[in-house]
Amino acid sequence: MRSALLNIMVQAATKAGRSLSKDFGEVENLQVSLKGPADFVSNADRRAEQIVFEELKKARPTYSFLGEEGTEVKGTDGQHRWIVDPLDGTTNFLHSVPMFAVAIALERGDEIVASVIYNPVMDELYTAEKGGGAWLNDRKRLRVANRRHLADALLVTGINSRGRPEDLHQLKQLAHVTPAVAGIRRTGSASTDLAWVASGRFDAYWEAGLAPWDVAPGLLLVREAGGTISDQAGKPGAIWTGNVLAGNETIHGQLSKLLQSVK
């Protein structure tokens, strides 16, 4: 049974997800147009944020709100804040690749206490509440994978290409890590990456240059699935530094060492 709080979050995520699903169908038609679907996708993104915002505000009018698409509201409740990415995986969405999610986290004080990540095309709903475990579609309790050797591990990462110094560092990391593991994937949706570490599909995930709404929802899922999440050096604060490493404790430790050896 979901708590009242998770119900509110699921309601918001699935409503926004339905809107994105409808728009996703339209994007497929727009691929062939000369201008492409870029403006259409920006509107879909903003629409999804508005839906999430309104749903959450209706249920918890005093909470603060921080959304990627620009909604920032300071509520009268000084303790609670929603952190929201209404469409995580925008480039996928733009190209009709069905790998994207609505991601919502609730911050209480300085910790994340509830999370929802919803992929409407796959109909995968990931939920977690502090102390209550991490779940897929309310039925399956999630555990991180149990592999002990980096050589057997399937990893996932994000490759940013904004011409920043950390982007080049990422390429060096890839050159180092690739020969040491079973495989590396790139989904294009950070919250999906973290949800799939929580579910054991991926053994570990690392990336840098992320925003709080990319990291906060998945952080709690990974923890509640028994995983370890920190920055790449093993320090806390990944939500705010955008530098992330997640996996089971053993693989997390091994990968942290390897990543830090890349200068």
Phi, psi of 25 (to 5 degrees): -60, -40
187, with CB counted inside 10 A (0-12, 13-18, 19+), is buried
Cβ closest to Ca ion, residue 42 vs residue 250: 42
160's contact among Ca ion, ligand IPD, none, with CB below 5 to 8 A by partner kind, is ligand IPD
Quote the least distance from Cβ 63 to ligand IPD, whole Å.
Answer: 22
**Within 10 Å of residue 112's Cβ, how many Cβ atoms?**
22
Token pair of 28 as six digits: 């497929």
Residue 193 interacting with Ca ion (CB under 5 A)? no
89's contact among Ca ion, ligand IPD, none, with CB below 5 to 8 A by partner kind, is ligand IPD
- Choose the stretch contacting Ca ion; rule: CB under 5 A; options: 47-55, 132-140, 163-171, 211-219: 211-219
Task: Report the residue number whose CB is nearest to ligand IPD.
Answer: 158
Quote the least distance from Cβ 15 to ligand IPD, whole Å.
Answer: 19
Quote the least distance from Cβ 36 to ligand IPD, whole Å.
Answer: 16
> Measured over all CA atoms, what is the biggest interatomic distance in the chain, rounded to whole angstroms?
52
Distance between CA atoms of 7 and 235, rounded to whole angstroms? 32
Residues 80-99 that bind Ca ion (CB under 5 A): 85, 87-88
Quote the least distance from Cβ 49 to Ca ion, whole Å.
Answer: 9
Query: Which spans of this chain sit near ligand IPD (rule: CB under 6 A)?
Result: 85, 88-90, 158, 160, 188-190, 207, 209-210, 214
Distance between CA atoms of 58 and 44, rounded to whole angstroms? 21
In one-letter notation, the amino acid at residue 151 is: A
188's contact among Ca ion, ligand IPD, none, with CB below 5 to 8 A by partner kind, is ligand IPD
Residue 214 interacting with Ca ion (CB under 5 A)? yes
Quote the least distance from Cβ 48 to Ca ion, whole Å.
Answer: 9
Quote the least distance from Cβ 79 to ligand IPD, whole Å.
Answer: 26
Please name the residue ranges forming H helices in the chain: 4-30, 38-59, 90-94, 165-177, 190-198, 212-224, 238-241, 249-260
Token pair of 48 as six digits: 């999804």
Distance between CA atoms of 28 and 38, rounded to whole angstroms? 12
Quote the least distance from Cβ 127 to ligand IPD, whole Å.
Answer: 19
With beta carbons less than 8 A apart as the criterion, state whether 82 and 65 touch: yes
158's contact among Ca ion, ligand IPD, none, with CB below 5 to 8 A by partner kind, is ligand IPD
Among 23, 55, 68, 193, binds Ca ion (CB under 5 A): 68
Residue 143 CA, chain-centre distance (Å), reads 17
* Binding stretches for Ca ion (CB under 5 A): 68, 85, 87-88, 214
